Each structure stands twice: as structure tokens, then as C-alpha cells.
């Protein structure tokens, strides 16, 4: 009897050991990051702003640049004298990529620190998880997550800085229509961004006279998309539209070349990353995608305000952190500056006045684009903020 | 007389603890603290079921987060989309989770040890995909939002207090039920089964029936926890019910120990609070909190390894040893 028990215990122990080891490795991907607040020692009555970011868990890679950006920008705003003479005190909480934890973090920031505005969360699920408590407290929230649902399921208190698929998809379809494409095949990751993109494309494609001949999914971490692409190859599509923000995008491009597919590969703003070009190498040539103008600030015209904002941010970030900022850093930049600008216009800092002021944002030049909010539009960007890029000679060039 | 006092001591302590826990909102008005303690209560409900399944019947489940998910989605869908009153939705959610547990238990409980672990792991993986794909019910990756907070008729409570009381009121009832099982005939049958299946059979215990009952019960309690999660958090997302959650739940029972309810409950409290250490120790430096957060997974791991190596029967086992030694010396 004792022996059976011992063996059972050992087996269980081994199972748990292996699984815990696996989880620990996954969790250790980014062990860096402290949740300390930023800003110089405030002289008196600082304005308190809270941020809920994923600094651990599966979105840690997105939360880290967002945190870097918030710390850098709040320090810069404070060094320049703050907003209306008041310093900004920033409180950052980690949501561990968990919606329940994000909600608890929001409650903590609102109740214990008395923040007048919230930035975050990093992920769509975490952003949605905060909503109940945001609504009850009446505190404005500027999310840096990309899910269409955040502003589509409208909440007067919630704003969103990243490009939403509902903006980028019509722009991309319009371009395809102009190029005479009537039949496309879709390939996307099975995660939130890819599935959301596919849903929006399927809904809108008929409006552009485009049919979807094949729809293929892959999982994050997949290393070969040949079988999906073979199905696409036989489907008679005139173009392959890929929707993913993952590193697997480079594999899709490489596999297409290996299969001798000659139809164009069209991506999304999720591919606005240097890793795609380095990863896909020659297969990246001719790849097109829509994104904001930040990849090529010259697009704004040297000397224009947009150009100055983008290059200034890129230069300062690169100097401070040793690498160029990615699009997630840009979303955080836009969030904190939209709030800071709104703060500058209110006579008395209360959450409700701040919310109204944020909604009044007009023509704010950010890194992701130019934001104009309205009582019905809390994403605030227009298709004119987008350009189509093509990869040529290992660089992004703008397609006219 | 002393003996009688001693015999009733656990019951008296439990009752006193229950009163303290339920009266806490009178003393604590910090909603963050109440929310954190509410999360503790949710885990206590699930762990009570796992304590019966693992600690008593000796069955390993690596997929209990999936049952929490079933309960959460069922209750969330029924209240937010189908417009059911919340008590009916909770009952239905528990029934659906129990049915899921039964459906999984019948074919798989002939498996043992790591085979059973693998089967439950596979089940939770399948459900993880189902939670994302069944968009009409679950909302897919966007999650299921708009779940109304439970209303308590004439009682006009602050939502944080109401949620806390709902969760802990249920948890106290669940613990009562579970302790009845642990002490009663079903618990003895499970313990016998865990000790020796053949021996148990010789005593007239039907092993399959006992195992299926234990599994269904634990799935039902996980579903109950999930249903309350949906009502109190108000938002359900597929990421919350992944493998990691199952492992953390299992870590709680392993640390808590076998043949005990108090041990796993204590472990559930401790391990849940580890994530929210800043709530109970507000003086703790931000660096220390960040360190604990970053190394949380590793801390769970080290704890489990240490328990397996040095105290395989967990907190409960250590407590039993101490009690026996004290009893022997007096």
C-alpha cells in the first residue's frame, strides 16, 4: 500500500515538475521590469495617472516598450514644468496578462491612488476586463490595445490609440480593388489580432467586390505554413492577404517563395516590424502592407509637425533605451500625450472634466497618426493617416 | 472534559473563522482589498473540490481550469445574453460543469496516474480552443462582456461588498459540504480507494462509481467558482482558463496536502495572495512586489518541488505529524 502511494506521488511529482519548469521558462521570457512609478519628486499636488500594462505573462513583450515610453514621456513632461504647473505622477501596475488582475489593478489605481485617468491595458481582454470598474468610477481610460471590440462596443469613457482593424481593413481592400484583385485568400494567426482581422475582412470584402477563396489559420509558434499555402495555391486567389502581428509572418513569406507562388502577399500594420524584413530576407521583397506614416516620417514632409513629433520621439527613445521604438511604444506615446494635452485644457482636474476634454481632442499629432475624437469616434484616426508600404531592397518604401 | 473540548476545537475554530471572514466588509472598506479577498474566495471554492478529488480520492486533474471556464461562460452567457436571473444561471452553470465532468470522468477514470493527468490536460486544451471558437456564446478572443452584477433584491449593497459576500458566503457553504464529505462515508470510501483499490473493492466499494462521483463533484465546484467569477468580474476571456491556471490550482492542493480540507484552503489563500502581496502588505517596497510578481511562476515551482521532496503530504501532513508528536508526548 505504501509503495503504491509513493509511486503515485512520484509520478505526479514528475508531471508537475515538468509542467512547472515549462511554465517558468515561459514566464521568464522577460524577467525585467519593476512597477515603480516615474517622475521627479513632485513639489505639490501632482496629477495622478495610472497605467495597467502587461509586464509579465504572454504580452510582456508589448508591455515593456509601453512602460519605457510612459516613464520617458512623463519624465519629459515633468522636466518641462508639468501640465499647468502641476507635475504628473504615474503609477504603473502589472496585469500579468490576466483580465481579472487588470480589473484589480484598475480598482487599486482608482481607489488607493485616486488616479484621474487610466492608460491601458496592453491587451484587448485586459482592457475589456477593466470596463466595469472604469464605468463605476467614471474615470476615463485610454487603451493601447488594438482589438476592434474596445471602441466598437462603445463606452463614453474608453478611448483607444492603436489602429483598429476596422480602419486598416477597408484601406487595404480599397487598394486591392484598385489593383484589380477580385479573389483573395486569407492566412492569419489564430490569436486575437489575426481572427479579428479575418472577421472584419470577410464582413467588408463584398463591399469591394472581392471574394474570399480560402481561409487558413496558423498558431503562434508554428514553423511551417506550407500546407495552408498549398491549399491557398490551389484556390485560384489573385492575392494572399495575411493578418498577424507575430514573427510567423516571415515564415509565410518564405514558404510562399519556396512553393513558387507568384501572387502578391499583402500584410497589415501588424507587420510594421523590422524583424519581418530580416526574417524573410529576399522573400520579403515586394511585400506590401498598410500602416501609419511613422515608419517613414519623411512622408509627412520634412519640417512638418508630424515629422518633428515622430523623429523626435524615435531619436529620444533610441538614445535612452538603445533600440528604436516599435509600434507599441508609439501607442503608449499617443495615450499619455492625449491625456496630458487634455489636462492642459481643463480648469479643474476631475475625471469627468478630463473625459470631456479628451473627447475634444482635435488634430492631435501623435506617433501613430493624427487624432480627432468625437462623441461617436473614440479611435480618432482616419484612413488618410495610412499609407501603403512596399519592401524593396530590404527597406520600407511608400507606394503612391 | 478536556477531550471533548479538543474534539470540538476544529469546529469552533472553523465557525469563528467563517464569522470573521463574512464580517470582514464591516471593517474593510477598501474595494481593492475586498476584490483581492474575493479572488481568494473563488479559488477556495475550486480548491475545495480538488481537495476531495486529489487529496482524498487520489485522482490527478490537470484540466480543472476548463471547468471553471465552462461555469464562467455558461453563467455569463445566460445572464448577459439570454437574460436569465443570476441565481438560475448559477445553478445551470454548475449543472453544465458537472455534466462536463461526468462526461469526461466516465471514459477516462479507468486511467490512472499520469495517464489520467494527460487525459484531463487534453480535455482542457480542447475546451481552450472551444472557448475561442464558439464565438456566438463566448465572444471568442474579445471575451464575453456586459455581464450584469448580481442584484440582491431589496438589499442595497456596495457592489464590491456584495460580490465579496456572495463569493465568501458560497465558499463557506461549499466548505461545510466538503467537510461533510471528507468526514462522512463518501470520504472514507475515497480514502480507502486511494489506499488500495482492491482492498476497497473487497469492502464493497465500487471504485468507478466513487471516482466518477469525486470527479463530477469537483467539476461542479469548479463550475460554481467560474459562475461566480463571471458574475463578480463581469467579463470572461479565454486566457483566464489556460493550463497555467490548472497548474496553480493543483499547486494549491499539493501544497495543502492530502486527506485534509484546511490544508488546501490555507494553501489557496496563501498562493492567491502571493499574486496580490501588495494588498496585504501595503508597506512592501515596489521593488519587492515586482520581484515577487516576476518570479511568481518560479516560486510556485520551488514550493511544489520542496513539498514533493520534504513533505509529500503537504501542510496537512506536517500538521498531522506535529499533532501526533504532541499527542504522544503528553
Enumerate the residues of chain A whose CB falls inside 8 A of the CB of residue B145: 128, 131, 153
Task: List the one residue out of A56, A38, A126, A112 whose CA is nearest residue A336.
Answer: A38
- Those residues with Cβ within 8 angstroms of residue A298's Cβ, 6 or more apart along the chain or in another chain: A307
The answer to pTM > 0.90 is no
pLDDT of residue A32: 38
Ranges in chain B, pLDDT < 50: 1, 329-330
Paired residues of B75 in beta bridges: none
In terms of CA atoms, which chain A residue is nearest residue B200?
A1
Place of cell 520534504: B310
| Crossing angle of the two packed helices A248-258 and A226-233, in degrees rounded to 10 | 50
Residue A154 with chain B: CB contacts under 8 Å: none
- A210 and A240 housed in the same domain: yes
Q: Considering the domain boundaries, does residue A144 fall inside one? A: yes
Return the pLDDT at A224. 93
Q: Same domain, yes or no, for A149 and A60? A: yes
- How much is the ipTM here? 0.82
Q: Please check whether residues A254 and A202 belong to one and the same domain.
A: yes
Q: What is the pLDDT along chain A (400 residues), one digit of tens a residue?
A: 444 444 545 555 555 555 555 555 444 433 333 444 445 444 568 999 999 999 887 788 889 999 999 999 999 999 999 999 999 999 999 988 889 999 999 999 998 899 999 998 998 889 999 998 999 899 999 999 988 889 988 999 999 999 888 889 999 999 999 999 999 999 998 877 888 899 999 999 999 999 999 999 988 778 899 999 999 999 999 999 999 877 789 999 999 999 999 999 999 988 887 778 888 999 999 999 998 877 777 767 777 888 889 889 999 999 999 988 888 899 999 999 999 999 999 999 999 999 999 999 999 999 888 899 999 999 988 888 888 999 998 888 888 7
Same domain, A93 and A132: yes
CA distances from A223 to A243, A280, B42 (A): 16, 13, 39
CB contact under 8 A, B36 and A23: no
CATH classification at residue A186? 3.40.50.2300
**Contact check, Cβ <8 Å, B199/A14:** no
Q: Which helix (H) or strand (E) holds B305?
A: helix B296-310
Nearest CA in chain B to A6: B312
Domain coverage including residue A126:
47-160+326-366
Whether B178 and B261 have beta carbons less than 8 Å apart is answered as yes
Instruction: Give the residue extent of every domain in chain B.
Output: 32-257+264-329
* A156 shares a domain with A199: no
Same domain (yes/no): A58, A141: yes
CA A102 and chain centroid, separation: 17
Same domain, yes or no: A92 and A151: yes
The pLDDT of residue A214: 94
Asked if the structure places residue A8 within a domain, the reply is no
CA distance B71 to chain A (A): 16
Chain A CB contacts of B113 below 8 Å: 7-8, 11-12
User: Is A261 found in the same domain as A346?
Assistant: no
Instruction: Show Cβ contacts of residue B209 under 8 Å, excluding neighbours closer than 6 positions.
Output: none
Instruction: Tell me the chain B residues in contact with residue A94 when contact means C-beta distances shorter than 8 Å.
Output: 290, 293
Q: Are residues A260 and A393 in the same domain?
A: yes
Four-CA torsion B88, B94, B95, B100, nearest 10 degrees:
150
Residue in A closest to B298 by C-alpha = A24
Rounded to an integer, what distance in angstroms lies between the CA atom of residue A357 and that of residue A84?
15
**pLDDT in the model for residue A11:** 56
What count of Cα atoms within 13 Å lies in the side-chain half-sphere of residue B147?
A: 32
Q: CB A1: neighbour CB atoms within 10 A?
A: 9
Q: Which of B57, B128, B256, B290 to mutate to test the interface with A (most CBs of A within 10 A)?
A: B290
**A178, A130: one domain:** no
The domain defined by B32-257+264-329 folds into: ABC transporter involved in vitamin B12 uptake, BtuC (1.10.3470)
Q: How high is the pLDDT of residue B280?
A: 80
Q: Is A94 strand, coil or helix?
A: strand
Tell me how far apart the alpha carbons of residues A368 and A306 are, in angstroms, rounded to a whole number. 10
Residues of chain A neighbouring B243 (CB-CB closer than 8 A): 19, 23
Burial B154-186 (b: 16+ CB within 10 A, else e): eeeeebbbbbbbbbbebbbebbeebbebbeeeb
Closest CA to A192 of A164, A226, A160: A164
Q: Are residues A112 and A184 in the same domain?
A: no
Q: Which residue of A has its CA nearest to B301?
A: A20
Say which of A8, A24, A195 has its CB closest to residue B297.
A24
Please tell me the predicted confidence (pLDDT) of residue A20: 54
- Distance between B166 CA and the closest CA of chain A, angstroms: 17
* Average pLDDT across chain B, whole number: 88
- Grid-cell match 458566503, residue found: B169
- How many interface pairs between A and B have CB atoms less than 8 angstroms apart? 163
d(CA A287, CA A249) in angstroms, rounded, equals 11
A176 and A287 both lie in a single domain: yes
User: What's residue A201's pLDDT?
Assistant: 95
Most A CBs within 10 A among B59, B65, B229, B234, hence the mutation to make, goes to: B234
Separation CA A29–CA A85 (nearest Å): 40
Asked whether residue A378 is domain-assigned, the answer is: no
- Number of structural domains chain A divides into: 2
Amino acid at each position: 500500500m505504501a509503495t503504491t502511494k509513493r509511486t503515485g506521488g512520484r509520478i505526479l511529482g514528475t508531471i508537475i515538475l515538468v509542467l512547472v519548469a515549462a511554465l517558468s521558462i515561459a514566464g521568464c521570457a522577460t524577467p525585467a521590469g519593476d512597477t515603480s512609478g516615474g517622475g521627479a519628486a513632485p513639489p505639490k499636488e501632482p496629477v495622478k495617472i495610472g497605467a495597467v500594462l502587461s509586464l509579465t505573462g504572454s504580452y510582456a513583450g508589448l508591455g515593456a516598450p509601453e512602460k519605457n515610453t510612459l516613464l520617458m514621456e512623463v519624465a519629459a513632461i515633468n522636466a518641462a514644468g508639468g501640465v499647468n504647473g502641476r507635475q504628473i505622477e504615474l503609477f504603473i501596475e502589472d496585469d500579468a496578462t490576466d483580465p481579472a488582475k487588470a480589473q484589480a489593478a484598475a480598482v487599486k489605481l482608482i481607489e488607493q491612488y485616486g488616479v484621474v485617468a487610466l492608460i491601458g491595458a496592453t491587451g484587448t481582454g485586459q482592457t475589456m476586463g477593466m470596463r466595469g470598474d472604469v464605468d463605476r468610477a467614471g474615470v476615463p481610460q485610454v487603451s493601447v490595445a488594438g482589438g476592434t471590440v474596445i471602441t466598437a462596443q462603445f463606452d463614453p469613457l474608453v478611448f483607444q490609440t492603436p489602429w483598429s482593424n476596422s480602419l486598416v481593413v477597408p484601406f487595404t481592400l480599397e487598394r486591392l480593388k484598385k489593383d484589380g484583385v477580385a479573389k483573395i485568400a486569407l492566412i492569419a494567426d489564430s490569436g486575437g489580432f489575426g481572427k479579428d482581422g479575418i472577421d472584419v475582412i470577410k464582413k467588408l470584402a463584398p463591399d469591394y467586390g472581392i471574394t474570399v477563396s480560402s481561409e487558413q489559420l496558423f498558431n503562434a509558434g508554428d514553423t511551417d505554413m506550407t500546407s495552408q499555402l498549398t491549399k491557398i495555391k490551389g484556390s485560384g486567389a489573385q492575392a494572399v492577404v495575411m493578418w498577424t502581428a507575430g514573427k510567423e509572418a516571415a515564415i509565410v513569406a518564405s514558404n510562399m517563395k519556396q512553393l513558387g507562388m507568384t501572387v502578391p502577399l499583402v500584410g497589415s500594420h501588424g507587420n510594421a516590424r523590422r524583424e519581418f524584413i530580416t526574417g524573410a530576407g529576399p522573400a520579403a521583397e515586394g511585400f506590401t502592407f498598410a500602416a501609419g506614416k511613422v515608419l517613414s516620417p519623411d512622408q509627412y514632409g520634412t519640417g512638418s509637425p508630424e515629422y518633428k513629433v515622430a523623429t523626435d520621439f524615435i531619436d529620444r527613445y533610441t538614445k535612452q533605451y538603445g533600440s528604436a521604438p516599435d509600434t507599441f511604444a508609439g501607442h503608449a506615446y499617443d495615450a499619455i500625450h492625449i491625456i496630458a494635452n487634455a489636462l492642459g485644457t481643463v480648469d479643474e482636474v476631475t475625471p469627468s472634466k478630463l473625459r470631456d476634454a479628451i473627447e475634444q481632442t482635435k488634430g492631435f499629432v501623435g506617433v501613430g497618426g493624427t487624432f480627432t475624437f468625437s462623441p461617436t469616434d473614440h479611435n480618432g484616426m482616419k484612413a488618410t493617416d495610412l499609407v501603403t508600404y512596399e519592401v524593396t531592397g530590404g527597406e520600407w518604401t511608400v507606394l503612391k | 472534559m478536556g477531550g471533548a473540548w479538543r474534539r470540538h476545537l476544529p469546529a469552533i475554530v472553523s465557525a469563528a473563522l467563517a464569522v470573521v471572514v463574512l464580517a470582514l466588509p464591516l471593517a474593510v472598506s477598501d474595494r481593492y482589498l475586498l476584490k483581492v479577498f474575493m479572488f481568494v474566495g473563488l479559488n477556495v471554492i475550486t480548491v475545495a473540490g480538488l481537495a476531495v478529488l486529489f487529496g482524498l480520492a487520489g485522482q490527478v486533474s490537470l484540466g480543472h481550469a476548463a471547468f471553471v471556464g465552462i461555469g464562467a461562460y455558461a453563467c455569463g452567457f445566460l445572464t448577459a445574453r439570454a437574460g436569465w436571473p443570476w441565481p438560475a444561471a448559477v445553478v445551470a452553470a454548475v449543472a453544465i460543469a458537472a455534466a462536463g465532468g461526468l462526461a469526461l470522468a466516465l471514459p477516462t477514470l479507468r486511467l490512472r496516474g499520469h495517464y489520467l493527468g494527460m487525459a484531463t490536460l487534453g480535455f482542457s486544451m480542447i475546451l481552450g480552443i472551444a472557448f475561442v471558437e464558439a464565438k456566438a456564446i463566448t465572444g471568442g478572443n474579445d471575451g464575453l462582456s456586459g455581464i450584469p452584477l448580481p442584484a440582491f433584491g431589496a438589499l442595497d449593497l456596495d457592489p464590491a461588498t456584495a460580490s465579496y459576500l456572495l463569493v465568501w458566503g458560497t465558499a463557506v457553504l461549499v466548505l461545510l459540504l466538503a467537510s461533510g464529505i471528507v468526514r462522512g462515508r463518501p470520504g472514507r470510501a475515497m480514502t480507502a480507494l486511494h489506499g488500495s483499490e482492491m482492498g476497497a473493492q473487497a469492502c464493497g466499494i465500487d471504485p468507478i462509481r466513487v471516482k466518477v462521483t469525486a470527479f463530477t463533484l469537483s467539476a461542479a465546484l469548479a463550475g460554481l467558482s467560474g459562475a461566480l467569477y463571471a458574475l463578480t468580474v463581469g467579463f470572461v476571456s479565454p486566457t483566464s482558463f489556460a493550463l497555467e491556471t490548472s497548474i496553480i490550482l493543483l499547486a494549491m492542493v499539493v501544497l495543502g496536502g492530502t486527506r485534509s480540507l484546511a490544508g488546501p484552503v490555507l494553501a489557496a489563500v496563501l498562493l492567491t495572495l502571493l499574486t496580490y502581496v501588495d494588498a496585504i502588505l501595503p508597506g512592501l517596497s515596489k521593488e519587492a512586489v515586482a520581484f515577487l510578481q516576476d518570479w511568481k511562476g518560479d516560486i510556485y515551482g520551488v514550493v511544489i518541488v520542496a513539498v514533493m521532496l520534504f513533505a509529500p503530504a503537504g501542510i496537512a501532513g506536517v500538521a498531522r505529524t506535529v499533532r501526533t508528536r504532541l499527542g504522544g508526548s503528553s
